[in-house]
Structure 1
């Protein structure tokens, strides 16, 4: 495994955008000239850029040229090329530059090792850039052969000839996207071996295979037949992958986003390859082994800025069950934190893998880096709380969330504060986290109430807080006294705000409708009537003579819910389980049965006095209409509650 796989993620003090870097590097390149200080400054800038974007092969070549100009020797440039291959070993263009550099430097004795390394990483890559690697390798090896012949060094010349035959044979068996490239290599191979004895026409492995194969004669014709059979298998392989390969428009890295079609194609291609891979690689032809890993690596050159592909690669590596799978997954995620350093998902995934490996401190460092990359991320606070619960206990879990609340409140991050408050209160209520060791098991409802009370006092305009608090109290209510206390909390929530910081009119009306539904199901008749009267006084729904008929907006609470959830999780770049639950509920309340309820309510407008001959007829019709609207509201609340309960049950089962 190359050194790049062991790098630690890091961040730079100057986080320029890609376009800003491009402009800066263009300026320093044009002004560097031959001045020592300018060259040194340009080299520093190029190194800083490549630390953040190591897959930009053109900039590595420019840096190597600057190093050679600055140092006056090819050794500095060689070190840069080596560093490039370590940082981006699956980028064919980087290997092409390295091989050409070795050729230009006349270090022909060392080039074989470079070519071997290059082909081990990109030799099976079907892109056009791989053909450049083969061409450069063949050219430099042919020069070695010519030099050996000129020096009358027959053993060296024979070895070079065998090396060329092997390179051309491997290129001819590479499933290039461009069929003409494959045909060209097969034609070159045929012409080359025609002028050589059999022992120089193939590698030692091929000769051994030919000798062991009873169906092929140990001759040029037998070698050609064996290679033709392999070429047929390669062509079938290429044909099966052609639909996916044709959709890859940008196989190289760029900071500009890929279009949606290419993203979908990479997803489908990887799924297809994973399903196709044989569990037992021993039964797979040599040239096909490791194809899934190579495809992931190819994908991550083009999609290096997309965390989903890094996470998918790490999961695939870990799930195979091979020895060292967890360590390999860690190496992949370390690279992900380098290439997609500003995305939170790789840091979260790496923290989880470090925890599974038993390295608690390394996991904590991942969370610390994540806080620097994406501060006030709800899913990060939730993940850290879960981590602390597992490794340090329920008190540490509570302390983690309490610290997140305090930090966000002082920073003015009210949406994050509200979301974390809800998470903490729920965990306190069920006993997943505790204020201290003396807290008994089974949950501390009063501690949860304290959190909600503090939070609603600090940010009273967050509907998510009131909804979560009320839901907890509804579930906990056992006696009629408890029910009355819940109604009192509803009253507190829907009271007109004393300042502009309170809940909006729509939010309070939404809670008022929930209050009526709860009172209908749980309260006494007197308490229900009192709640109805208070609702009518607050929101203009009192059925009195001459009053404007109130429009019962059954969907209003749904709309306000969507707004509150969107606000509360605006800082979150990843779906936390709690976020998913709220969103699934809000989506469900705009579809299916609830949509039918809303449609029925809207299709039943309030009666108008002009439609009736007498005042009594109008009042009777109005009373019937008002009762029907109450029924619609109760149906809505019941279906909402059923859906919420089903979601909670499903989460517990998971």
Structure 2
């Protein structure tokens, strides 16, 4: 990364002493000998600038350089370091404010305004920066229209931000103070239509605002007539509802009175209940009580004088007896104090009157209240309430959207930019939040959310790639602008983003820009990135430029070869890929053979290169004998004793030569390959001895995990060398090159339990089982054991 700071100017190089010039003969000999002291602040600044030039992208060093320049008070140096800082980190809104304050302090308000304009252009989705800009405009005495323009521009970007109420509040306060309360009320209503975190606070503030002002101070004239009609309709609806409530109350009162009267009549018609007769007791009810005596034992009662009648004559004996037999009357309850005169005059036992009086009072009171007249006059408060009701409907709709977004917003702890990486939970929250916005289908809301995300996630190329994919189908120009910001500002040192930019430019026909991006990656950002080399090669292939594609391969292969054994796997992979590219796209077999020949001289111990060269010959569309002759020559060279391959690898190639001869060559070639193999690799003592009975697994014993113990070739057990990874990568280009495969032998139904299980053997070992004539050649290698069958005896 190149430095954004110029070299130290000659003016800043202050000489240490004056007599140093005299000592060199360049000045007068009588110069004063006193040394000129350096400014310590300037020395600190120069030291920090040197550190930044060595590492221009270090955030802490740039911040320290800004601090040193600010202490100097030199505007030129201050501008120099701030420009260097914002070339790397333009999303730090706090430093834009510091820069503007410095310009205002050292130069003029106009210079500070210019800095603010640069800041809001670099980070337009910053609520704080727009708020600082608008406040600064008010501080320097800008016109009302100028300040209002800043607020409106800011709200176009961040008005729908979850944390955007701060800017709305400042705008409302400014408008209510400078313009009119009516305009402030309209801004309130606009704010209620946004999914703000402080939406409740906004609505409560609006309610207080409306109650403190008249209709003419809140409602626009063009809306007043409609609101009056709305208020009148509401009053009419309230009157109709009140009338219905009165009718319902009157009906309920009548029904209650009727039910009370019916209950009273029913109670009056019922006969009085006789008092219960005294029960005779057989004995004393309590211990020690006197027993009841019979009538004969009772003493004679004294004669009683009957009470006089109404005429003054005494009653007869019958009447007197009846009177004596009746129980004494209970004392009547006393009349409650404070009762009405009507209740005191009511006859005893008049139940219907009492019930009617008790049930009718509350129902008649409710009916009277329901029948109270409704005020049908539309007043100012009614109009204000109607306007506020309309705002409340908007508020409730926005409140629902806030509830849907709250979980996403709460998971985002750092919505601003910082050089420190975000944790995985916040990255996942942003990803899910974008999924939610895209599913809703509102492109404006989704674009705003993407821009918010790319402030906090500006250094993550995958979010930029997602944003570009979102914009490209319908808004390719906007996608191109987003790519420019990512490619040249925020992710300019990331090869993944540069490769994305190259593919984008190619799709849109800008081949020069695509080629520039590829060259930047393969030459500076990631010279050893194989995926970038292959992408660049295929780009030139699509343009039909074989020479350019081959040059890219040649440079990459040469760079890998220069690194020696540390890059052997990369070297082998590039050579195999290069040869495949030549054959598949340009049918240039001779160039591919020449490439393999030189590569095998460079890295003769690379198994991947031998495999690739043999694979090339075996898969060419050529006559069988010629194909076999070339392949057998490579097999023989690989299996020869002059190679640096391991013994197991050489034996493997020698055995495979016989299979290749059988597939593509003549009988003489097969016989020659077998003879050569037997001559090169004699059977060992271990392989010639038959397996003992103790080494055979029993019917309930598992086979050993070691393939060699089961009788497999040592080559099948031999681990791949260091270039196995490159061979695996080569297999992606050559699907048929994964060799040697293993062929498991399936068990035969009904086999004897004593028979050993068949070992998994390479394909060329299975060839001997298919062709019995190979038994002599494959004698040193244990063959798959076939089960024996035992037939029942009859």
Name the TM-score, length of structure 2 as normaliser.
0.58
Q: Report SS of the residue matched to 1:174.
A: coil
Equivalent residues in 2 for 1:400-415, closer than 5 Å? 400-406=552-558, 409=561
Map of 1:169 onto structure 2: 189
Aligned to 1:571: none
| Cα separation, 1, equivalents of 2:722 and 2:550 | 30
**Partner secondary structure for residue 77 of structure 2:** helix
Alignment coverage as a number of residue pairs: 540
Partner SS, residue 358 of structure 1: coil
User: How far off its partner does 1:65 sit?
Assistant: 2.7
1:368 and 2:519 correspond: yes
- 1:80 counterpart residue number: 115
CA distance in 2, matches of 1:506, 1:263: 50
Cα drift, residue 250 of structure 1: 1.9
CA distance 1:194–1:375, change in 2 (3 Å): farther
Contact 2:69 2:81 in 1 (8 A): no
Q: 1:507 deviation in Å? A: 7.6
Name the CA distance, whole Å, in 2 between partners of 1:490 and 1:162.
93
How far has the Cα of 1:51 moved from its partner? Answer: 0.9
Equivalent residue runs for 1:284-295 within 5 Å: 290-295=444-449
Q: The residue matched to 1:252 in structure 2 has which SS? A: coil
Change (3 A) 1:482 1:258: same
Distance 1:244 1:531, change over 3 A: farther
Q: Secondary structure at the match of 1:175?
A: coil
| 1:66 equivalent in alignment to 2:102 | yes
Provide the residue aligned with 2:786 in structure 1.
none
The answer to whether the 8 Å contact 2:654/2:677 transfers is: no
Q: Distance in 2 between matches of 1:19 and 1:564?
A: 35
Q: Residues 73 and 491 (structure 1 numbering): CA distance in 2 closer, same or farther, change over 3 Å?
A: farther
Distance 1:213 1:418, change over 3 A: farther
* Greater CA drift, 109-118 or 218-227: 218-227
1:640 corresponding residue in structure 2: none
Q: Output aligned runs, 1:214-253, within 5 Å.
A: 219-253=383-417
Change (3 A) 1:135 1:494: farther
Cα deviation for residue 335 of structure 1 reads 0.9
Q: Which moved more, 1:193-202 or 1:97-106?
A: 193-202
Structure 2: runs of 5 or more not aligned: 6-51, 235-381, 692-707, 748-754, 768-794
Deviation at 1:334, TM superposition (A): 0.9
Of 479, 483, 494, 1:333 maps to 483
Shift of 1:513: 8.8
1:18 and 1:421 mapped to 2: Cα distance?
37
Q: Structure 1 residue 486 and structure 2 residue 634: aligned? A: no
Counterpart for residue 651 of structure 1: none
Look up the match of 2:529. 377
Question: Which shifted more, 488-497 or 199-208?
Answer: 199-208
Task: Return the alpha-carbon distance in structure 2 between the equivalents of residues 362 and 212 of structure 1.
Answer: 64
Q: Which residue of 1 aligns with 2:616?
A: 472
Give yes or no for contact 1:11–1:341 (8 Å, CA) kept in 2: no
Matching residue of 1:186: 203
- State the Cα distance separating 1:307 from its structure 2 match: 0.9
Of 86-95 and 221-230, the range deviating more from structure 2:
221-230
Provide the residue aligned with 1:575 in structure 2.
none
CA, structure 1 residues 363+634, in 2 after alignment: closer, same or farther (shift >3 Å)?
Answer: farther
Give the superposition deviation at 1:27: 3.0
Q: Distance in 1 between matches of 2:195 and 2:486?
A: 28
Partner of 2:65: 28
Among residues 63, 80, 84, which one is paired with 1:48 in the alignment?
84
Q: 1:335 to 1:61 in 2, by over 3 A?
A: same
Q: Matched residue of 1:290: which SS?
A: helix
SS class of match (2:687): coil
Q: Residues 47 and 472 from structure 1, CA distance in 2 versus in 1: closer, same or farther, beyond 3 angstroms?
A: same
Contact 1:470 1:489 in 2 (8 A): yes
Q: 1:555 and 1:212 mapped to 2: Cα distance?
A: 94
Shift of 1:356: 2.6
For residues 383 and 552 of structure 1, do their structure 2 counterparts lie closer, same or farther at Cα, with a shift above 3 Å needed? same
Deviates more, 1:53-62 or 1:361-370: 361-370
* Residue of structure 2 equivalent to 1:134: 168
Q: Indicate whether 1:302 and 2:453 are aligned.
A: no
Q: CA deviation at 1:447?
A: 1.8
**TM-score (norm. length: structure 1):** 0.69
Q: Which moves more between the two structures, 193-202 or 83-92? A: 193-202
**Does the 8 A contact of 2:3 with 2:56 survive in 1?**
no
Q: Secondary structure at the match of 2:80?
A: helix
Please say if residues 326 and 357 of structure 1, whose CA atoms lie closer than 8 Å, have aligned partners that are also in contact: no
2:230, 2:386 within 8 Å by CA — same for their partners in 1? no
State the alpha-carbon separation in 1 of the partners of residues 56 and 154 from structure 2.
Answer: 28
- Cα shift at 1:310: 0.8
Deviation at 1:182, TM superposition (A): 1.8
Structure 2 counterpart of 1:265, from 416, 420, 429: 429
Q: Which residue of 2 aligns with 1:564?
A: 726
1:386 is aligned to 2:516? no
Contact 1:507 1:557 in 2 (8 A): no
**Partner in structure 1 of residue 590 of structure 2:** 446
Q: What corresponds to 2:272 in structure 1?
A: none
The alpha-carbon deviation at position 301 of structure 1 amounts to 1.2
**Closer/same/farther in 2, CA of residues 211 and 426 from structure 1, 3 Å limit:** farther
Larger deviation, residues 162-171 vs 231-240: 162-171
Q: Deviations over 1:278-313 (max 9, x none)?
A: 6xxxxxxxxxx6111112111111111111111111
Distance of 2:227 and 2:464 partners within structure 1:
41
Matched-pair contact (CA < 8 Å) for 2:91–2:455: yes
* Residue number in structure 2 paired with 1:103: 138
